[in-house]
A and B are shown apart, each in its own frame.
Chain A
Amino acid sequence: MRTPRTGGLMLLALIVAAIPWFLPNNFYFEMAILVGINAIVAVGLNLLIGYAGQISLGHAGFFGLGGYCSGILVATYGWPPALALLLGAVGVAVLAFVIARPILRLKGHYLAMATLGLGIIISIVVSTEDWLTGGPDGMYVPPFTLFGWELYGEAVWYWVIGGLLLLAVWLALNIIDSPVGRALRALHGSEVAAQVAGVDTTRAKVRVFVVSAVFAAVMGSLHAHYAGFVTPTSSGFFHSIELVTMVVLGGMASTFGAVVGAAILTVLPQLLTGFEDYEMMVFGLILMLTMIFLPQGLVPTLARVFKRRDQGAGAIPGVDEVDP
């Protein structure tokens, strides 16, 4: 059945399939792969921030844990990469589950602080225990192999990540358009209303927190294998902020917005290298200006503009579920 969401998914699939024809060399493929990896994390994080309305300023911690788990188990102990990735995902799921309950009791800025603290603790631990993790310089991670077949080369990675992106978006869209998803959005809109409707809000928040943490951990593992190394910065404060910015910039409560946000934020620093010393300034300025003038994020704001054009005045249906 053709609906806005399947339309959006097909468009994304088309883009993923078509892009390789436009990429002149390996460097651009590398960019595309990084965009894909960040996008998947952002899609997961968006479920937490945009839909459930919770803040996490420490999600890079989970990303880093996934990467280090893979790095340590595969490089140091010779585990098969797929198993290490699985263990990383499960480990992070357990950690997220255990800390979610006490942390998600907090609200607003207290929650922001707690998640921030968690992320920073993870990055400090990872940087300090150098006998295990290689310390501040990080550690080397062997390539990803599955039953003897090695994932090697930009082209192969591109299709793997592209496929995973489509899968992640599909999973996220499914959650949103389901009782669980509606419960999450209701929780964001009015927690007490959701509760009297029978939503176990604590359980719902914990679950979406865990799901988004697992998205991050899995991508952290894959990123480590792709890049060939993992460093503490992958779990650091800045990376956490980058991830949140991708979600907010692209548009909270918009899965495709998260993808767009990831694309922009991954590519932007590259575009700004022309500014050399002014790069940081310009980046900060762009961040501020976009959030000030487009507080809803890019995709929802664009969607509003287009919908207003073909509908005239009146209610804009499903404004928070924005599929192009």
Chain B
Amino acid sequence: MSLLRVEQLNKSFGGIHAVQDLSFEVDPGTIHSVIGPNGAGKTTLFNLVTGVYTPSSGNIFMDDQPIAGRPAHVLARLGMSRTFQNLQICMNMTALENVMVGRHLHLDRRFLPAMLRLPGIVRGDRDCRDKAAELMHFVGTGRYLDSDAASMPYGALKRLEIARALAAEPRLLLLDEPAAGLNANETAEVDVLIQKVAETGVTVVLVEHDMKLVMNISDHILVLDYGKKLAEGTAEAVRHNPDVIAAYLGAA
């Protein structure tokens, strides 16, 4: 049974068909990459899967349950987590608090106990803080434990966002261009991090432009062009696919 299944997915913005008739499956425990030229519809696909956009038509299934059009916070409850291409970090909070927000669903979210500071809440927050600190070390941002999010460099923030996404203990993690804006060293670090995450059993789907990274870690690659599926398969298969080469380099 696939963890995530997309069937005949369509999304149009006015006259622009961002995603057309897209179908694919993601198996649990794999690293699945989505690549394609700019404007191919990768981020739109992500936004559709994670509930930020509603499809124009088509279905999305998680564990064979229909989830298309469900709001993002409901999908989080089903075990889905994501990061954003244009960092969505809460700059009004500290780095640790950002990660703690990721654990939201694991905590007591009621108003009244919070207002009265019941012991359960206090304990829960202490554990949450510890877990969040652990995650910050896991992703390599340990030195920013006491920092404000606003004072952290870009590369660290990208990893902080991954920590936040992991804090939810997701089964499915979607990373939107995790290496965007990073130099070669930082990209290599992200490469290692993604593999570490996959080793813990989380299914990873990522959108990326960095071919070296993609070819290196992916179990399965989906190539998009103009919102449609151009090719899919293992890194080897995709790398030698003439359509893919033509799309990226132009037809000979």
Contacts and interface: CB of A to CB of B under 8 A. Distances in A.
Q: Do chains A and B touch in the complex (CB under 8 A)?
A: yes
A207 B71 contact: no
A317 B88 contact: no
Contact of B89 (A182, A183, A189, A319): A189
A188 B92 CA distance: 8
Looking at A174, A186, A253, the one whose CB has the most chain B CB atoms below 10 A away is: A186
Given A196-B81, A197-B164, A182 B101 contact: yes
Interface residues of A, number: 34
Interface string A298-324: 000000000000000001111110000
Contact of B73 (A175, A188, A199, A318): A199
Interface stretch (B108-116, B188-196, B229-237, B240-248): B108-116
A130 interface: no
Nearest to B50: A196
B67 interface: no
B104 interface: yes
Interface in B60-103: 71-73, 75-77, 80-82, 84, 88-94, 97-98, 100-102
B72 A320 contact: no
Contacts of A192: 52, 72, 84, 88
Contacts of B84: 192-193
A200 B146 contact: no
Nearest to A316: B148
A320 B93 contact: yes
Contacts of A174: 114-117
Nearest to A190: B88
B73 A200 contact: yes
A49 to B, nearest CB: 13
Looking at A182, A197, A253, the one whose CB has the most chain B CB atoms below 10 A away is: A197
A195 B84 CA distance: 12
A268 B207 CA distance: 57
Contacts of B89: 189-190, 193
B50 to A, nearest CB: 6
Given A182-B97, A197-B168, A315-B147, A175 B90 contact: no
A196 B102 CA distance: 9
Interface size class of B (residues with CB under 8 A): 35 or more
A196 B93 contact: no
B151 interface: yes
A198 interface: yes
A181 interface: yes
Interface in A182-214: 182-183, 185-186, 188-190, 192-201, 207, 211
Contacts of B108: 179
B84 to A, nearest CB: 7
Contact of A186 (B93, B144, B148): B93
A178 interface: yes
A199 B148 contact: no
A180 B147 contact: no
A100 B203 CA distance: 38
B77 to A, nearest CB: 6
A179 B111 contact: no
16 contacts: A171-B116, A179-B114, A180-B114, A182-B100, A186-B101, A189-B90, A189-B91, A190-B88, A194-B104, A195-B73, A197-B104, A198-B168, A253-B92, A315-B146, A316-B148, A318-B94
**3 tightest A-B contacts by CB?**
A189-B90, A198-B76, A178-B114
Interface of B: 50-52, 71-73, 75-77, 80-82, 84, 88-94, 97-98, 100-102, 104-105, 107-111, 114-117, 121, 124-125, 128, 144, 146-148, 151, 164-165, 167-168
Given A193-B88, A198-B168, 15 more contacts: A171-B116, A174-B117, A179-B107, A179-B114, A179-B124, A179-B125, A179-B128, A180-B110, A183-B104, A189-B91, A196-B82, A197-B168, A315-B146, A317-B94, A318-B94
